[in-house]
Amino acid sequence: MGTVNAWKELVHWPIGRSQHTLPALLLAALERIAPFDQEHKRKLFSLRDILIRELHELLGDNGVLVFPAFPTVAPFHNEPVLTPFNFIYTGLWNALGMPVVSCPMGLNGGRVPVGVQIVAAPGNDRLLIAAAMELENGFGGWHVPS
């Protein structure tokens, strides 16, 4: 792996010459600016760690959270570029280091795929898979999109 010049890739992105998504490039460019000083970062990391501990306590060894996978039904190709902050629905769990499984729930009235995420405490992957299988079976699961 090499380093990526985010600014150069941002120039290439509109003409389809970048291998990276626009949200990833914007995030990489913003990380270079570093808007927070070290003290502010320490406070943010401390708050993150408190949230992680609280979630681990809440979920324990047998709890799950069922959470939207996205704030809308499945978007059209490249449509998420217009709503770059919708990634937070999945990015939250990634930032907290929580295991998650995405579970297809079927199709909505317009025959567009819908789904949820199931979140558990670390080490509970079997619980996630079992919960996803139950939800998928109960709600229809994956279908070929229209």
Q: What pLDDT, in 10s, does the model give residues 130-145?
A: 999 999 999 888 877 6
Type of residue found at 22? L
Rounded distance, CA 75 to CA 145, Å? 12
Rounded distance, CA 89 to CA 98, Å? 13
Rounded distance, CA 140 to CA 137, Å? 6
The 10s digit of each residue's pLDDT in 21-69 is: 887 888 788 777 777 788 988 999 999 999 999 999 999 999 999 999 8
The two three-digit tokens of residue 40, written as one number = 């502010």
- Whether the CB-CB separation of 127 and 120 falls below 8 Å is answered with yes
For the chain, the residue count is 146
- Least Cα distance to 105 among 95, 91, 92, 115 occurs for 115
Average pLDDT over residues 95-117: 89
Rounded distance, CA 74 to CA 91, Å? 17
Rounded distance, CA 119 to CA 97, Å? 10
